[in-house]
Structure 1
């Protein structure tokens, strides 16, 4: 049995930031919670999204970020980072982008989840940390995190373990998906292989299909 560590469950509600004189609503500022939370099909109990077009939904029900990357960003940003620093719902250890794959399924507490896509860094990260290049740096490093869709709803506790239920047969890592999205963009054979994974989210599927058409 392969298990991973759940460091923190983080939730938040929309708040307002000022960027270039304009108000921006964001739920990026998530805080750790210690009570058990119910994971619904498209969100954690108590968690809300400010932008339902680009965030949330069943394909992106749970945002996940590896704690392994925190030390790197603390040096880049010259600040101490707390759990939830990247707006993630789950801060985890042991599940970095090189090792987890599209379609991998896991059990966390009562819930069963599946990796659906990498996290695409938002400009609001740059605003939060006053670091304009941060989304670009996240893309370049591949330290993006990823999303879960929920296959089975259920309660998750802070001390729940993350158990790997099934490794997807095609073993296309999140790192690979990021590479072909941002770097080796014209590798059509690789894109076709990614599109064969049914678990790929609809939004990333559309982006890759558009690239093939072009």
Structure 2
């Protein structure tokens, strides 16, 4: 059975559909306590977006989540229908733990380094999202993170270039892009399916606006790959 949300995406424009925040809480139904900030709910008014995130939002695992390069998690609503069909359930805004539920920002359209006006703030795409096991734990669907990874429909992160208030009705538009940069979809392919693709890794590493954590991972992988090839 196919489930649908009450709003259809309009791929002709870029817009914020919901601004979502949440504090860490224990996920139900786990064998051991799993704390996560993945459960987020839409706000009705403006929130302040700082260099490290939105007021009212927080992460439980600060080693792998949050920080300046991952201040805002973004997910395009056009991906909801496939998830609803996969899990046979209706999803609400913020269902994937994203701070911004948007339209017009699919992974094949957005490039690393793209800069957007977001209400009073200015933000920049830093890296794809890498869903962890907590996404599957939230819905008792352990294959969900693998689905995100294999499809490449992961969403992405913004770093904040200029702080400011963001409301659900905020102006949201791309103000700069580099056609030579890679899309989120391309970056995901290189990270997850192109582990032997040294040229792809070098191309991704050459993007100056790529997050430090992705650069570190790719550099380690590339160094190991080239060492094995030489040996």
Count of residue pairs the alignment pairs up: 213
Q: CA deviation at 1:169?
A: 4.4
Q: What residue number does 2:21 align with?
A: 11
Q: Confirm whether residue 153 of structure 1 aligns to residue 163 of structure 2.
A: yes
Aligned partners of 1:62 and 1:149 also within 8 Å: yes
Q: Give unpaired runs (5+ residues) of structure 2.
A: 1-11, 225-231
Q: What residue number does 1:114 align with?
A: 124
Structure 2 distance, partners of 1:183, 1:210, is 16
Aligned partners of 2:119 and 2:170 also within 8 Å: yes
Q: CA deviation at 1:185?
A: 1.6
How do 1:85-124 residues align onto structure 2 when only pairs under 5 Å count?
Answer: 85-124=95-134
Bigger Rg over Cα: 2
Q: Confirm whether residue 134 of structure 1 aligns to residue 150 of structure 2.
A: no
1:181-207 per-position Cα deviation (integer Å, ceiling 9, x unaligned): 111221111111111111111111111
1:70-109 per-position Cα deviation (integer Å, ceiling 9, x unaligned): 0000000100000000000000001000010000000111
Aligned partners of 1:3 and 1:164 also within 8 Å: no
Q: What residue number does 1:165 align with?
A: 175
Alignment partner for residue 22 of structure 1, among 16, 32, 51? 32
Structure 2 distance, partners of 1:11, 1:179, is 29
TM-score, length-normalised on structure 2? 0.90
Q: Confirm whether residue 52 of structure 1 aligns to residue 95 of structure 2.
A: no
* SS in structure 1 of the partner of residue 54 of structure 2: coil
Q: CA deviation at 1:161?
A: 2.1
RMSD of aligned residue pairs (Cα, Å) = 1.2
Structure 2 distance, partners of 1:151, 1:56, is 15
Structure 2 distance, partners of 1:159, 1:26, is 27
Q: CA deviation at 1:19?
A: 5.7
Q: Give unpaired runs (5+ residues) of structure 1.
A: none
Aligned partners of 2:122 and 2:162 also within 8 Å: yes
1:19-68 per-position Cα deviation (integer Å, ceiling 9, x unaligned): 65210100110000011111000110111111111100000000000000
